[in-house]
Amino acid sequence: MKQVKNYHKISLIASIIITLIVLVFMLSGTSCTKIGVEKVYVIKANKHHSNRLPKFYNKESVLIYFRVDSSWLYEPMKPDGWHKIGGFSEGNHHKSSARITYQCRNGDEIHLAGYAYVNDTSPQQDRSLKPYIGRIRVGEYYYCRIDRMAGRNYFDVWAVGYDFHTTVDCRAGKGKIGYLLYPHGFLVDHDRIFPVTFIKQ
């Protein structure tokens, strides 16, 4: 319990520092996306992924900077799932991985959740591996830092333009060197745009 409290304190300090860096870039006339290398990932209509090749990644933490695009909205459908924004695996991503995901509700709401595979167990088999983060706004920029630490996955999310900061966690699996996980989702009837920056920690 003490370790979790310490993590929350550290994550709050880190988020304040990163937000201050963003403000310095903005005030200097430089786009805040220049902190990392922003890429625009496009998932075509009725496709699951953006055809980006996997990239080797050997860290236990990643910072993801993203904008919620209006193309993420879609009409209610069944079955519906959680669409992946990004994250990383340790070995096969269906064995051990952690990602930040979103779901559209009522056609106009975007909700975030963590999403982890733990030693071959999926979030569909264990709902605790899909910790709910909260509702966020279309058009806004957010940071999500994912940390694997002491057998837990931590998802620390905060907004750049308004007061929103939430940290959730779940169990983590045991894996080896893996790869970055790019935007991926269920089928919808239109193209989706993902402006995403992956920043090594």
Per-residue model confidence (pLDDT) at position 87: 95
Tokens 């900077």, located at residue: 65
Whether 10 is in a domain gets the answer no
The residue ranking higher by pLDDT, 123 or 173, is 123
Phi, psi of 142 (to 5 degrees): -140, 155
SS3 at position 77: coil
Query: Could you tell me if residue 181 is inside a domain?
Result: yes
Region for residue 119 given its phi and psi (left: phi exceeds 0; alpha: psi -120 to 50; beta: otherwise): left
Distance CA 166, CA 145 (A): 11
Q: Is residue 18 part of a domain?
A: no
Cβ pair 47, 187 in contact under 8 A: yes
Residue 1 banded pLDDT, cuts 50, 70, 90: low
In a domain, 138, yes or no: yes
What CATH number did the domain enclosing 121 receive?
Answer: 2.60.120
**24 inside domain:** no
Range of the domain at 77: 34-200
Quote the number of domains for the chain: 1
Mark out the alpha helices in the chain (DSSP H runs): 2-27
Residue 36, pLDDT score: 54
This prediction's pTM: 0.80
Give domain status of residue 6, yes or no.
no
How many whole angstroms separate alpha carbon 16 and alpha carbon 22?
A: 10
Query: How do residues 161-198 score in pLDDT, each as one tens digit?
Result: 999 999 999 999 887 778 999 999 999 999 999 999 99
- What pLDDT, in 10s, does the model give residues 44-87? 999 998 877 778 888 889 999 999 999 999 999 888 899 999 99
Residue 167: enclosing H or E segment and its boundaries? strand 165-171
The token duo for 122 is: 């999926």
Q: Please, what is the average pLDDT of the chain?
A: 84
List the structure tokens of 20.
């201050």
pLDDT score at 113: 98
Q: Pick from 2, 195, 186: which is nearest to 76 by CA?
A: 186
* 27 domain residue, yes or no: no
104 closest CA partner among 131, 136, 130: 136
Amino acid at 134: G
